[in-house]
Structures are given as structure tokens and as C-alpha cells.
Chain A
């Protein structure tokens, strides 16, 4: 036995807590499975709702809802529309807010740190896995909706509520673009939840805090007196992806929304790493 080593044989800091291991640790958790199930079930629930409801009543305002049963693509778009405002915030807040705080709550955090998994390495693995789970959750919903909708309503062009339609192949790309934007716009939620997660031992506190601040953002965005200042609220752009589903693709809102989200997210992630790197772990 060599007692002059700096570290145990085979130990390399960069190999600690591999992404795969962290993914397995998180994947088998009940909340992951429940969230996945919920998102996969939503299209079916919508399908039943549209089947039960009387679709003939003309509505005064033209919305995406009116076209839900036009094609699988329409159904997927509507599924996104009903869930983008709030439902899709929750998996992101959950996966990113719970990841560190729950380890602290279980006391397993200190064993990981003493293994030792370097702190930034631990955060990095957890962040990557949490973001990957978030992306999977956001993609899962429209994907299931697309399959379910196509089976129920057939494959066809995306009918646009205000008239006209997009050919199916282009609409599929546009829908993909919308999902990409939703992912990017949720980075700020992810950043907020992740930062809170490193500050508290209570997973609910981190998740709830992130969701609460998102709601606060929505409330502020409703205050029209703020005028242009609202452009700096991430919530202001939460439906900018609709710009991708109109005849003329408009980048403006999505680019601005991404810029705002990215800026906040970078700062919040950095705060998480900075704070956790020097924090006294006493849980």
C-alpha cells in the first residue's frame, strides 16, 4: 500500500459523479416518474376533452384552440399553448430546484462532497442532468401530443387560426423551433431554481421559490404601466414562440426573449456556483 499518494489509486477529480451516475440517481425517483407520466398523459386528457366538448360553438376571438382538431400538428401546438404558461415551468423548477436541495435534505450531499466530488464538479453534473431532464420534459409533451394528435386527427398541414396553413414539413420545423425557444426561455427558471437549490436544504423551498418568482414575473408583466420595462421580464416573452407558428416567421420576440432569459440564467448559474463553492455544508 502506497502511503505517499495524494489521492487513492484510481481517483481522478474529473471523473467523479459521472453524468450517467447522476442521471440514474435522479431517474428512479418518484417525482421524475410522476412528472413524466403527467406530461405524457396531458395530450390524452386534452384529446378526451376535445372529444367530449362541443366544438361547433364559434368563438369570438380567434385562438389557436379553435384549430386543435385540424391535424396532429395543430394538436401538438395547442398542447404547447395550454401548458407553456405554467405547466412547463413546473418540471424545470422541479428538476433544477430539487437536485441539490434534496441531497442536502437526505444528508447524502456531505458524503458526495467527502468522497470527494469537487463542488463545482458536483454542481456541473447536477446542472447538466437537471437541464437534460427539463428539456426531456418540455419535448415529451409536444412529442406525445404529435403522435396522439396524428393518430386521432391525421397528418396534415398546420392550420393557422387567422387563416392559411403551413405545409406539414415546414410546420414540423417551426414546431421544433417553438420548442427550442421554450427551452431557452425556461433557462431563467432553471437558473433561479438551481440557485435557490444551493441555498436551502428544503427542496420544496427551492422549487416553490422558483415557481413563485415566475408567478411574480407574470403579475408584473400584467402591469401595463411598466411599459417597455416589461421587456426585461422573462415572463413577458413566454408566448413569443407563437411567432414561429404564423405564416411569416417573426424572430423579434424570440430573440429578445432568449436574450433576457440567457442573461438572467448566466448570472443565476454563476451565483449558484460561486455560493456553493465557498459554502459551509452543515446539513
Chain B
């Protein structure tokens, strides 16, 4: 249920993000929702000599399909439970996966033998036997399954041992593990006390004690949970079996191991027997027998099993003729990024190639190292980049000498070896690598307890890849001790190389330090220091500093006070640079390039389809026969979006000739403004076409530059003055300044000083005049004025009429729309009357107003409606009168339409008929004609 909920939520998220991505780009990333292939798991406890080993077997698909097998082990202090996820992943990749809890761990019984060839080693052989009997597992021969072994730390060594002891193992991938455990815990004969303590206390707890209670838990690194994870407490195991310390203090360790540890820890230095015991149980004991393809994954932040263990594995196996690849990950037992996903992929690819025989599997370069860049401040993670080489360079490739300088220095080994210098603290882990990229270093040298030798600032950056070496001369002065020990004084020294920035900040790469035990130091000895193997870039301008210290927190050193005198025997630090290792190109996820590309493609598609849509409508060719016709409209229709059935303009057509002043008339909502908008290219007609001087009008058609318009009120930038508005408008047309005829326009605007005020201070009339002036800029061949007299006072209205008439007399054309009908009547030569989107009538003014055809008869005595109707009947009966009807208020009287008769005859006949005629004259009132046409004022 929980799983299903999670899946649903992810799907929702996927949908939301896909929406955000506006379609296209989202599709490729929305595949997370698919449910993974089910993995079949069976648990069994296998009985072995002195132990029962708890195992889990993971497969997918049909059980009769034979496939290669992988043995997957856990780290020290862990159990098979932590491997389930990785095992399922490998099972889905087509392997039969067997995980097991090693002796003394998890639910397995038995005593910990630290990979005792006869204990843990034999267990692995029996697991291989078990695999050989499974129907799912591919066989190379009877009883010989195709099998690989992998695991981190403790299990890594088990993998190496398995390859060394059992010829049936076909490939291995040991991770962050040891080659020689004696060297790991007693490097150069110095006891690595903190790590050894962590190691042995972990195994000394009673069976089932939660091993992760130990700081930094030595187990489960690399391939599994990163050691940088905070320790988990109170797991199911510890609840079942309370954590107790058994009486003998050995816990689950074999007694001889336990005794060895107690002896060494108390003495503070290893003895030969201890070394022998651990060496016999180390992969190094089987060095010449490891002959299978080996992927060596080693950690750079690893003071427990430093890089030189990986180096020795690689050299031993490749010396036996087997393929080897070396991968230095960023993290390690000290913490940091263990690059789980990348490492798992690489291990799977390694097995694909060497177990399944898939020649196309990319096993990666022979050598790869993860290099830490800065911090990604968005998510706080350290950025990693790979560097690789086609051959493993070893730890001393491309050595260059960096000259060191410094006098002979004498420093003290404090009594009790404290307070010690600091380098590594096991289990501190976690954020250390991040701090490191900020050049924060926890390392600290105690004053008076070290000698330092510095280089000059480097003139170019230097990449250390491997083990730097230096040669120093050491002499210990400890007369009393010399007298006691016939063998002479022993000195333990700690060598390290700092990166010193110009501002004096010192960085200890990977927090690593190399111990060395010098015997006979009272006589003076020349010692070659093998300094810690690291991959670290020293920037130009930084110095290198070799420090030789007498103490280190992580190691046991002599407790007796002594003075050490150290000088450079060779005034140079030999630094390996591994020049063949090249930093890979930055690896970004696909979408870093894909997303903008997809965005560009979508954008292009949007724009291209838009172009086609616009171009498809209407003709584009000019009509040569109409080049002298300022305006011809045919079959024009427009319906606004949202009003499905109501046309704003329907099937309107008319024509305007040069020199005309055309009035466009109609009540509100007649479609005048819509027609003018289409004429200006502001809106697109649904049907029909508009041609201006023969050129079809489309949005932005160049011919519109011959049209000046004032439609639906003024439109100015309120913060600019009237003059600036006109000037900027003209410059926006891109036409030559001298064509503007600004003076003529300004004369019409008649704004006086107000011209230099901001437009927002103008009255409506002033804006109106300025807008008309703007429409007349450049003296357009066709001038369109929409309700031009709104807000003007009577003298201005009269002037405006004259302006329009004069303008048309120059051979140009004017279109005026208005509902002030008397206004239009006085200035226009032609009329177009519209109502409810339709054209009602078009023609010369005289034709429409009917000149003599229509007569208005004023009657005396204000007759009531009944009487008026009677008079109308009488009038209609008069010969020569086509129709007679009561004239609409306020005039009153009768409106006659003549039918060929002369006015004089009709008047005579009306008077003769007894109508009380008071006034008699032609009805030239356009309004009446207009109302007659559109069916009364109420319409």
C-alpha cells in the first residue's frame, strides 16, 4: 500500500513537471512511473562447519533460465540485510545473486576469523558449491558455476580470497578493501590504534549487537550505504538481542585474534606474531593465484585502507595476466561521496563483460579517479569530475622534483605522546570532503613537535596523483633510553604534505598521514618517506610543505620523551603527476543540452506555424485596376471570439473614390468601429477583403503607411509632452522627418503652449485634437477619423469640418464616422449607413437624403395622434405623393415622400384638401432619412 501511494504521488509529480515543461521536453522524463520487474527472493540458512550461514538468493524471471551468478558480501559490522537493494538491482540486470551474512555477523553463527581461509574462505567455496546446484545458474562445467564476487571492505577482501582460493570464480570487484591486513593495521610497523580499536570493538560486541553504534562503522562502505551516513541506532536486531559484553571480552572473535589484539593494543606496537597472523589471512597470501578479471575500487578518503592497498591489488593481479581496472572514488572509510550509483553501474558493466561475455559492455577506462571540484551551492554537494587514463599509472608515474628548503630542525616527542597532532579521525567522515573543497582543514600540528620544509610558491599548478616521496635524515637524542635498550632508540615519525595557500592556509590532502618507524635513530638514519597517496591539485602560487611530526592521534607512538633532529637529505620532494591521466569533459545530464534544444525546436515550430496561419488568409497580390481607388471593401464579415452567432459586421461592401469625404453612419453597435479596425489591420476579418489603393489590407500591410487614422479616441504616452508624442510617433514609422509636415498638423491641433506639457495634463478635447493631428502627420492619402468632433467646442467643430473638406480638395480622401448625423451631413460628399453590422445604404449624400423627394409639412394647432393619422391618410391620397406618415417628434407634422409630383402642386393639393398647413419645406434632415431607413429611433 505504501509503495502504491508513493508511485501515485510520483506519477502526479511527473505530470506536473511535464506540464511545466510545456509538453515536448517532459515526455522523455516521465517514465518513472513504470513498476519494476518483480524479484524472487528465497532465504536459507546453510550449515557449515562450526557455523550456520544466513543467505538470501535473488532472481528474476523463469527459474529454468540459466544465468551467471554474483556473490555479494557485506562490510565489517554489517549483515546481508543491507545488500537487499543492490541484490535486487543486480537480479533485474539478469544475474542470480546470493548474499550472505559472514560468520559472526547478522543471523549467521560462528566466530569471526577476519577472512580466515579455513573459516570465511571455506564458507565462500561452499556458497559456490550451492550455486552450482541451482537450476537458475549458468555452469561452466559440472559443479562450476559462472560466478563473480563483489563487496566492499571486509567482503572485498573475501572476494579477493575467493578468487585466490577457488578457481571457479570468474571475475571479482573488490571495493575499498585491504591487500594485507597487517599492513593496514600496522603500517611500517606502527600501530594504527584508532582504526584497530574501532575494528576490534565492533566484532567484540555480543552477537547481534548493533555494529552501527560504533562511530563510523567500518562496514557497509562503497557499494552499500555510505559510511558517511549517521550511525543508525536501535535497529530490529538490537531490540531482539540486547547489547552485552561477554566475560572474556572476545565477543565473536576467534580467541587467537582476540588475544593478538589485546597484546598489541597494550604494547602500542605490533609484534612479529601479530603480523604473521594477519598476513596469513590477507589476500596478499594468495597473490599469485588471483587470475581473474578484477575491478579495483578504492577510496581517496580512506585512512584505514589507503590507496596503496588498491595499488598492490592491481599490480598483483595484472602481474598474473588478468585484466584489471582501477577506480579511485572520492569517499572511503573516512567518509565522503562513495558514488554508489556510478560504482554499481561500473560493477554491473564489469560483470556484463566478464561473466556474461557481453563484448559491448563498457567497462570503463583502465584507470579512473574522481576529482573534487567546488561545492554546488544549490544542493550543497561537492561536485565530482572524472579523470581517466587508458592504463593504470601506478603511484609513482611522472615524478617531478619540487625543491624544498628548510634548516635542520629539532623537535620533541612529548612524554606520553600527547597532546598529539591531528590528521585523520576515523568516523568523523561525512562533511569532511566538503570542507576540504572549501580549503578547510581540521589537521593540526602541535607546536614544537614537528619539522617543516617548504617549497617556493609554484609557478604553475601541479597535480599530485600518487605517492610523493622525500628523503630525510633523522637523529633521536634520548641518552637514557639508549642506555636501557641495547637495540638503540626507535623513533616513530609521521610524514605529511601540506598544500599552503598564499594567505597561509594549510590543507592536508585527504587528511592522510604516513607513519614510519626508524630503528637505531640515535645513531642517525637516512629515511625515505613514502608520503600518503592522494589525488590533489596544488594551484599556482601555492607552496608544498613537508611536515615530519612526532605524534599523531590516530597512531600509537613511543611514550618516552625524546628529541628528534630532522634535516633534508635530498632537498626535493618527488611528486608523481601521472601526466597520462586526463580530466574527462564535464559530464552534464542529457537535458542540459537537450532542454534548450527542445525549447528552441518548440519555439521554432510555434513561430513557423504562426506564419503559415497568417499568410493563408486572403489574397496577397495587389489589384492593378484598383490602384486609384482609396478603399474598396467587399463581402466583409467579422464575428468576435466568444459571440458565436452574432456578427459584428456582416457582408459589408462599399467603395470610396478619390476626393470624397465619406461619412460612415450608424447607431452604436452598427459595426462602424469594427470595420475601421479591420481597415487598420488591427483585427482580421472572417471573410471578405479590404483593399486600399488596390493592396489587400492585412495586419501591418505596408500600404497602411498611406492611411492616417484616428479611431476610438486618442492613444498617447501620458508621461511625454504632446510634441514629443508626435515626434516619437513619426520616428516610429521609420519615415523621413521632412515628410511629416509637423507644422500643418500642429496648426490643426492648435494646442499652443500646452504642446510642451505632458499629455496626462490634457483635457479630452486637447487629446482629441492632438490625435487628429497625429493622424494627419505625413498627409496620408486616406484619412480616417472616428467621431472627430467629440469633445470639441462649436467653433472647433466648424473648423474641423473645413479642414476635412479642404483636405479632400487636395485629391486625398477622408472617411468620417460619426453618430452626430447633422455633422456628417454638412461635411460629407458620400455616405455609408450601417446598422447592426449590415450596410443599409451607400451613395452620395444628396441621393440618400433625397433632396426634393422628401417634404416635411408643419401643421397648425398641434393635432393629436388620431387627427394626425387622418391628415396623413388625406395627404397620401393627394396625387404625386407616394407615402405620407406622421413625422417623428419633436418636429411633428407629416413626412411626405413624393412620387414624381412637384412640390408646388402637392402644396396646393394639400391646402385644397383642408390640411392646416403652417410650414412646408424639403426635408433635408439626414437624421430623418436615416431613421426612416433603419426603421425608427427605437430600433
A residues with CB within 8 A of B: 1, 3-18, 21-22, 24-25, 28-30, 106-119, 121, 160, 162-165, 225-226, 229, 232-233, 236-237, 239-240, 242-243, 246-253, 255-257, 259-260, 262-267, 269-271, 273-274, 277-278, 280-282
Whether B627 pairs with A252 at a CB distance below 8 angstroms is no
Least CB distance from B456 to A in Å reads 18
Binds A, one of B305-313, B374-382, B884-892: B374-382
The residues of A that contact B705 with a CB separation of less than 8 Å are: 7-8, 11, 115-116
Q: How far is the CA of A267 from the CA of B717 in the complex (A)?
A: 30
Can you list 18 A-B contacts (CB < 8 A)? Answer: A1-B781, A6-B622, A8-B739, A110-B682, A111-B715, A115-B704, A117-B732, A162-B439, A162-B440, A239-B378, A240-B377, A247-B438, A248-B374, A253-B376, A277-B699, A278-B613, A282-B677, A282-B682
The residues of A that contact B713 with a CB separation of less than 8 Å are: 107
Least CB distance from B439 to A in Å reads 5
One digit per residue, 1 when the CB lies within 8 angstroms of any chain A CB and 0 when it does not, for chain B 1-37 equals 0000000010001101100111001000100000000
Whether B595 pairs with A260 at a CB distance below 8 angstroms is yes
Q: How far is the CA of A146 from the CA of B717 in the complex (A)?
A: 36
Residue of A nearest to B586 (CB): A251
The residues of B that contact A253 with a CB separation of less than 8 Å are: 376-378
Whether A164 pairs with B683 at a CB distance below 8 angstroms is no
From B376, B505, B681, B703, A163 is in contact (CB under 8 Å) with B505
B754 within 8 A of A: no
The residues of A that contact B609 with a CB separation of less than 8 Å are: 274
Question: Assuming A10-B734, A226-B13, A282-B677, what are 15 further A-B pairs, CB within 8 angstroms?
Answer: A6-B703, A8-B739, A13-B702, A13-B734, A108-B717, A110-B682, A114-B709, A114-B711, A116-B704, A118-B700, A162-B439, A262-B599, A263-B598, A264-B22, A282-B640
One digit per residue, 1 when the CB lies within 8 angstroms of any chain A CB and 0 when it does not, for chain B 704-739 equals 111101011111111110000000110111111001
Q: How far is the CA of A48 from the CA of B781 in the complex (A)?
A: 62
Whether B706 pairs with A8 at a CB distance below 8 angstroms is yes
Whether B693 pairs with A113 at a CB distance below 8 angstroms is no
The residues of A that contact B406 with a CB separation of less than 8 Å are: none
Whether B781 pairs with A265 at a CB distance below 8 angstroms is no
B911 within 8 A of A: no
Whether B596 pairs with A259 at a CB distance below 8 angstroms is yes
The residues of B that contact A24 with a CB separation of less than 8 Å are: 728
Whether B683 pairs with A13 at a CB distance below 8 angstroms is no
The residues of A that contact B720 with a CB separation of less than 8 Å are: 25, 28
Least CB distance from A10 to B in Å reads 4
Least CB distance from B323 to A in Å reads 33
Least CB distance from B718 to A in Å reads 6
The residues of A that contact B375 with a CB separation of less than 8 Å are: 243, 246, 248, 250
Known A110-B682, A112-B732; judge A259-B13 contact (CB<8 A): no
The residues of B that contact A15 with a CB separation of less than 8 Å are: 734
B610 within 8 A of A: yes
Residue of A nearest to B732 (CB): A17
Residue of B nearest to A260 (CB): B595
Whether A242 pairs with B373 at a CB distance below 8 angstroms is no
Nearest 9 Cβ contacts at the A-B interface: A107-B715, A248-B374, A15-B734, A270-B603, A263-B599, A7-B702, A118-B700, A250-B374, A280-B683
Known A108-B716, A264-B599; judge A239-B377 contact (CB<8 A): yes
Whether A111 pairs with B613 at a CB distance below 8 angstroms is no
Least CB distance from B8 to A in Å reads 13
The residues of A that contact B693 with a CB separation of less than 8 Å are: 3-5
Residue in B29, B373, B715 whose Cβ sees the most chain A Cβ within 10 Å? B715
The residues of A that contact B14 with a CB separation of less than 8 Å are: 229
Known A18-B734, A233-B20, A280-B641; judge A109-B715 contact (CB<8 A): yes
Residue in A4, A22, A233 whose Cβ sees the most chain B Cβ within 10 Å? A4
Interface contacts (Cβ under 8 Å), in number, total 259
Whether B606 pairs with A267 at a CB distance below 8 angstroms is yes
Residue of B nearest to A107 (CB): B715
The residues of A that contact B438 with a CB separation of less than 8 Å are: 160, 162-164, 246-247
The residues of B that contact A109 with a CB separation of less than 8 Å are: 715
The residues of B that contact A115 with a CB separation of less than 8 Å are: 704-705, 729, 732-733
Whether B378 pairs with A280 at a CB distance below 8 angstroms is no
Q: How far is the CA of A8 from the CA of B695 in the complex (A)?
A: 13
Least CB distance from B905 to A in Å reads 48
Whether B811 pairs with A1 at a CB distance below 8 angstroms is yes
Whether B378 pairs with A236 at a CB distance below 8 angstroms is yes
B519 within 8 A of A: no
Residue of A nearest to B694 (CB): A4
Residue of B nearest to A240 (CB): B378
From B437, B600, B628, B739, A3 is in contact (CB under 8 Å) with B628
Residue of B nearest to A274 (CB): B610
Q: How far is the CA of A274 from the CA of B605 in the complex (A)?
A: 10
Least CB distance from A16 to B in Å reads 4
B778 within 8 A of A: yes
From A25, A108, A264, A281, B683 is in contact (CB under 8 Å) with A281
Whether A111 pairs with B729 at a CB distance below 8 angstroms is yes
Whether B716 pairs with A106 at a CB distance below 8 angstroms is yes
From B603, B622, B732, B735, A266 is in contact (CB under 8 Å) with B603
Q: How far is the CA of A17 from the CA of B705 in the complex (A)?
A: 13
Whether B588 pairs with A256 at a CB distance below 8 angstroms is yes
From A14, A21, A111, A271, B774 is in contact (CB under 8 Å) with A111
Whether B683 pairs with A232 at a CB distance below 8 angstroms is no
Whether A229 pairs with B13 at a CB distance below 8 angstroms is yes
B50 within 8 A of A: no
One digit per residue, 1 when the CB lies within 8 angstroms of any chain A CB and 0 when it does not, for chain B 211-237 equals 000000000000000000000000000
Q: How far is the CA of A248 from the CA of B709 in the complex (A)?
A: 62
The residues of B that contact A111 with a CB separation of less than 8 Å are: 709, 715, 729, 774
Q: How far is the CA of A17 from the CA of B731 in the complex (A)?
A: 7
Residue in B13, B501, B505 whose Cβ sees the most chain A Cβ within 10 Å? B13
From B592, B599, B682, B684, A278 is in contact (CB under 8 Å) with B684
Known A239-B377, A250-B376; judge A29-B719 contact (CB<8 A): yes
Whether A266 pairs with B377 at a CB distance below 8 angstroms is no
Q: How far is the CA of A113 from the CA of B684 in the complex (A)?
A: 13
Q: How far is the CA of A164 from the CA of B375 in the complex (A)?
A: 14
Least CB distance from A237 to B in Å reads 6
B322 within 8 A of A: no
Q: How far is the CA of A277 from the CA of B100 in the complex (A)?
A: 68
